[in-house]
Amino acid sequence: MNNIATLLALTSLFLLGSSRLSLAINMVAFQGFLIGILPLVSGHGFTLEVLILAATGIIMKSIALPHMLRKALEKSGTKREVEPYISFGASILSGILLLFVSGWIVSRLTQDEGIVSSSLIAGFFLLFTGLFTIITRKKALTQALGFLVLENGVYTAGLSLGSEFSFMVELGILLDVFVGIFLMGIMLFHIDNEFDHIDTDRFDALSDLELPDLELLNGNVLNLDQELDEEEGAE
Amino acid sequence: MDLFLSAVVAIFVGGIIALFTGKWRGVSNFFGAFSCFLGTIFALKPIYDVLIANKTLEAITIALPICSASVSLDKISAFFALPIVILGFISAYFAAVTVNPRNEQHPGAYWFFYNLLIAGMLSLVASSNAVLFIMSWEIMSVAAYFLIAHRVEMNTARNAAWQFLVASHIGTTGIFFLFAILASAAGGFQFETFHSSALAEGSAAVIFFLALFGFGVKVGFFPLHIWMPDSYTFAESHVSAVLSGAMSKMGFYGLIRVLTFLPVHAELWGWVLLFGGLITGIYALVIALVKLDLKKVISYSSMENAGIILMAIGTGILANRWNQPLIAFTAFSGALLHIFNHALCKGLLFLCAGSVYFATGTRRQEQMGGIGKSMPVTATAFGIASIAISGLPPFNNFISEFLIFMSGLKAASLSTPKSLLLSAAVLLGLGLIGGLAAALFTRSFGLVFLGTPRTNRRLNTKNIKSDVNFTLIILSAAIIAASIFAPMLISPFAGVVSEIVKPLGITYDPAYIATISAPVKTISLFSLAVILITCIAVFIKSKFLDKNQRSDAPTWDCGFLKGTPRIQYTSSSFSEPANEVFVSVNRLHIRGEKIKELFPAKSSFHTEATDSAEKHLFIPAFNIINKFLIMFRGFQHGKLHLYIFYIAVTLLALLIWKVVY
């Protein structure tokens, strides 16, 4: 359990530091595999439910979704994440900081029980890393990866918190992630087709929010003739 | 009560079916309109039972998610359901035969929102629970919003609808607060519990003023009316008929309903309603006189009538305060009668305007003229409605205004300073309002229907099927019936009045009904005589005198040779004398010079009128708010990363806050 948690944290740190997208996808696939075997070692025994959960987790997170993202990557012709808002080195440092923060939060949260669960720390860390990736990276594909990591975090935290192991909830989360990534894959394809790039920082051109001109507002006294003309034009 | 509820459900379900059958125009039209007919006819029976047969219907309790709410139909509810039912029926018919056959309209969405509006209003009047009341109120407002915005091809319609939505929600906050205060005092949301609750003197006043604010938005209380003219103008005509004839009456319903919750009515409230109504009425007409748009004129007239009704309610409250039951009774009866009459007249006026719009394709009065010859039914109906709405005999609004006058006159006989002030306000105010209204509708009628056409625009009377005329004839007949049978309306309405004042511990002497019926009977007889004589005269003229006598000749051309149709009186020239008096109110903006020399050069003249309340009150106020809120616009930059950053920071902060404390 502890080893898997450590590996999860390491993969996330690796993700923060890598600029090559195909490597990042592989890393997330590996993470998905780790997540998949997590239920097996979490001490719930080898019941049918646990086996199904592990199998669907591995198939979906380490095979199906990475495959989908890889195809999207091929189609878009992008190779690297360039110029993130926070550079890769700084990202790793922030990752370590986030690891400390999640360790601190978990130690405070589980103070009463006296045991600090390393997989819970990993869960929080994955969650923060996922958010961090979404915020600081520009390629839509990296953001999809960030989302996947975030969901992995939620899953891990849920598993390590769950005294009552809830099979349906976990499966539900898996389905959620699958649909989310699936949609993102489709959207990536369309965005790339439409804009020739998948840089999300340029999406704000789509924003319909413009600062209104106060002068214009002042002059916006409804003019009857204009209204009538407009209407007659529309008829 | 079952019947009433099933009527509401029938209308609602019909709207949903119409929505899903929107692809097939005829099917959708059929379900939408037919369910409306069915529902409104069903609803008439319980209304009749309550209002005229004096039965009490058992309340039904419905389970809502949070609490259970009961619906019941007392006399006040039944009275206010009456305009909804009448106009809901007629407008549905009008819509089925005119608007929806046109191709650009999506009939499904239209019928859905129309039926939702009618069903919402009916459930509003029936709900005797604050939660259900607010829910119905919101359903009604939102449905109305979509109906106004339904003409998507017009930018202005969307603006008007937006204005309506904002105004309506600002008003709804007032209603929320007032019910919150009432419910916390009474410990429940049922209306019965409100009656018995012990309210502090101060909180009663707060509730009243919140009600005046919240419901005042709907009725068009100055200066909360600014959404009203635009919304009524840009909606389809039959929608305007329902909005003005029925929906704005819901404001009065709410106000009166809240008044019944309050154990004591302070004198101040009466004065506020009286002078607020007076200002509303006069202001509306002064602005209406400079408006060029036919429907806008009619919209402002709605506001004017709201002013008259508010004045009457104010008079009633004051008279109750002074222990003058007869005056109060007369004033309240006049108010109710006027609500009913105004619903009929305003419905007819808007439908006429719609009919004119179909024929001419414009609402600009200055481009009409001479339509009366080719559309005699519309002209007659508009004429009847104009006379009625100006409060002139022989029609029904004269009778209701007469009752209000009568209360003012009787107040004068008390000869205390306050009562003299009251009667001066009522008598002079109503006189001025009546005169201005007569001028306004003379202008509109003359410009639209009389004279010769001002443009070469070809009249498209083909659109005006006999079905359209049928609705106009029905409403005209209803106005005439309401004039002739007015004495018979008084006793059922008196029941409503006594229900309004019952919580105050006041009961009116049943003999009062006879007291005020007597003069009304005389007026009705006179009305009957005038109408009959007019009919006979018209009949004789058309039968015996009209033969081969008609010839077209130029009208008197004021000494100008080669007069064109444009030399006729325009709407600006007609209302110019009034404008000179009221220029400080309407702030008419004039461009161009009047001609002074004998041999003038080419010149132009142009006037522009905006609503002063909008221009000088709301736009500056909203600009100030905007200047403050614009500081927060920086957060809305469209950068996805930063949006997610906000979420992340919030999440982290909450987590840390949680673990630290």
pLDDT (tens digit per residue) in B341-387 = 999 999 999 999 988 888 887 888 878 878 888 888 899 999 999 99
Query: Do residues B482 and B340 touch, judged by C-beta distance below 8 A?
Result: yes
A174, pLDDT greater than 90: no
| Mean per-residue pLDDT over chain A, rounded | 76
Q: Considering only CB atoms, which chain B residues are within 8 Å of A136?
A: 641
Q: Considering only CB atoms, which chain B residues are within 8 Å of A128?
A: 648, 652
CA A150/CA A144 separation, integer angstroms: 10
Q: Considering only CB atoms, which chain A residues are within 8 Å of B636?
A: 209
Query: Do residues B72 and B128 touch, judged by C-beta distance below 8 A?
Result: yes
Q: ω before B394 within 30° of 0 (cis)?
A: yes
CA distance A70 to chain B (A): 23
Query: In DSSP terms, which residues pair with B590 in a beta bridge?
Result: B607
pLDDT < 70 stretches in chain B: 64-66, 99-105, 152-153, 196-197, 461-465, 546-550, 552, 554-558, 560-563, 638
Instruction: Quickly count helices (H) and strands (E) in chain B.
Output: 25, 4
- Given A101, A205, A234, which is nearest B153 (Cβ)? A234
β pairing state of B605-608 and B60-63:
unpaired
Convert the pLDDT of each residue in A125-136 to its tens digit: 998 999 898 888
CA distance A121 to chain B (A): 13
Residues of B with CB under 8 A from a CB of A: 153-156, 159, 230, 291-293, 296, 361-364, 608-610, 614-615, 619, 622-623, 626-627, 630, 633, 636-642, 644-645, 647-648, 651-652, 655-656, 659-660
Burial class (CB in 10 A: 0-12, 13-18, 19+), B58: exposed
Residues 6+ apart with CB under 8 A from B26: none
- Given B292, B639, B660, which is nearest A224 (Cβ)? B292
Q: Decide if A224 and B296 are in contact by the 8 Å CB cutoff.
A: yes
Reduced to 3 states (helix: H, G, I; strand: E, B; else coil), residue A220 is coil
CA A116/CA B313 separation, integer angstroms: 72
**Which of A98, A191, A214, A222 to probe the B interface (max B CBs under 10 A)?**
A222
β pairing state of B589-592 and B68-71:
unpaired
> To the nearest whole percent, how much of chain B has pLDDT over 90?
39
Query: In DSSP terms, which residues pair with A199 in a beta bridge?
Result: A139
Q: Quick one: how far is CA B367 from the chain centroid?
A: 26
CA B448/CA B353 separation, integer angstroms: 10
Burial class (CB in 10 A: 0-12, 13-18, 19+), B519: middle
Q: Considering only CB atoms, which chain B residues are within 8 Å of A232?
A: 361-362
Q: Decide if B614 and A222 are in contact by the 8 Å CB cutoff.
A: yes
Q: Which amino acid is at B7?
A: A
CA distance A138 to chain B (A): 8
- Given B230, B626, B640, which is nearest A203 (Cβ)? B640
Secondary structure letter of residue A80 according to DSSP: B
**Which of B155, B652, B654, B656 to probe the A interface (max A CBs under 10 A)?**
B652
Q: Quick one: how far is CA B222 from the chain centroid?
A: 14
CA B321/CA B576 separation, integer angstroms: 42
Question: CB-hemisphere CA count at 13 Å for B144?
Answer: 33
CA distance B603 to chain A (A): 19
Convert the pLDDT of each residue in B269-296 to its tens digit: 999 999 999 999 999 998 888 888 899 9
Boundaries of every domain in chain B? 266-480+569-592+605-610, 618-661
A215, pLDDT greater than 50: no
- Given A205, A218, A230, which is nearest B623 (Cβ)? A218
- What pLDDT does residue B380 have? 92
Ramachandran region, residue A170 (left: φ > 0; alpha: ψ -120 to 50; beta: rest):
alpha
- What pLDDT does residue A216 have? 44
Query: Do residues A160 and A69 touch, judged by C-beta distance below 8 A?
Result: no
CA distance A207 to chain B (A): 5
CA B97/CA B464 separation, integer angstroms: 10
Reduced to 3 states (helix: H, G, I; strand: E, B; else coil), residue B63 is strand
- Given A201, A205, A214, which is nearest B641 (Cβ)? A201
A222, pLDDT greater than 80: no
Q: Considering only CB atoms, which chain B residues are within 8 Å of A109?
A: 659
Instruction: Count CB-CB contacts under 10 A for residue B562.
Output: 7
Q: Considering only CB atoms, which chain B residues are within 8 Å of A225?
A: 608
CA distance A229 to chain B (A): 9
CA A178/CA A173 separation, integer angstroms: 9
Burial class (CB in 10 A: 0-12, 13-18, 19+), B613: middle
Question: CB-hemisphere CA count at 13 Å for B432?
Answer: 20
A218, pLDDT greater than 50: no
Query: Nearest chain B Cα to A232, which residue?
Result: B362
Q: ω before B223 within 30° of 0 (cis)?
A: yes
**Which of B152, B655, B656, B658 to probe the A interface (max A CBs under 10 A)?**
B655
3-state secondary structure string across B374-391: HCHHHHHHHHHHHHHHCC
Q: Which amino acid is at A151?
A: E
Burial class (CB in 10 A: 0-12, 13-18, 19+), B627: exposed
- Hey, what are B523's tokens? 């007026």
Query: Do residues B454 and B368 touch, judged by C-beta distance below 8 A?
Result: yes
Kindly write down the DSSP assignment for every residue of B433-483, as one continuous string.
HHHHHHHHHHHHHHHHHSS--SS-PPP-GGG--HHHHHHHHHHHHHHHHHH
Distance between first and last Cα of chain B: 56
Q: Which amino acid is at B215?
A: F
- Given B364, B608, B637, which is nearest A223 (Cβ)? B608
Residues 6+ apart with CB under 8 A from B429: B278, B281, B282, B311
B260-B265-B266 Cα angle (round to 5): 160
Q: Decide if B648 and A101 are in contact by the 8 Å CB cutoff.
A: no
Instruction: Count CB-CB contacts under 10 A for residue A111.
Output: 10
Taking alpha carbons only, the member of B448, B486, B316, B477 closest to residue B370 is B448
Q: Decide if B361 and A235 are in contact by the 8 Å CB cutoff.
A: yes
Convert the pLDDT of each residue in A127-172 to its tens digit: 899 989 888 887 778 888 888 898 888 888 877 776 555 666 777 7
Taking alpha carbons only, the member of B172, B119, B165, B127 closest to residue B146 is B165
- Hey, what are B638's tokens? 């469209």
Query: Nearest chain B Cα to A217, which residue?
Result: B623
Strands of B583-637 (E only): list them.
589-592, 605-608
Buried b / exposed e over A172-198, threshold 16 CB at 10 Å, is: ebbeebbebbeebbeebeebbeeeeeb
- Given A204, A217, A235, which is nearest B623 (Cβ)? A217
Q: Considering only CB atoms, which chain B residues are within 8 Å of A133?
A: none
- What pLDDT does residue B615 have? 80
Query: In DSSP terms, which residues pair with B606 in a beta bridge?
Result: B591
The pair phi, psi for residue B60, each rounded to 5°, is -115, 135
CA A73/CA A139 separation, integer angstroms: 11
Compare B275 and A84 and report the one with higher pLDDT: B275
A233, pLDDT greater than 50: no
CA B661/CA B648 separation, integer angstroms: 20
Taking alpha carbons only, the member of A139, A129, A124, A123 closest to residue A13 is A129
Query: In DSSP terms, which residues pair with B69 in a beta bridge?
Result: B62
CA distance B327 to chain A (A): 43
- Hey, what are B42's tokens? 């069903």
Compare B476 and A65 and report the one with higher pLDDT: B476
Taking alpha carbons only, the member of B289, B402, B273, B393 closest to residue B337 is B402
Instruction: Count CB-CB contacts under 10 A for residue B169.
Output: 14
Residue A200 confidence class, pLDDT cut points 50, 70, 90: low
The pair phi, psi for residue A139, each rounded to 5°, is -75, 140
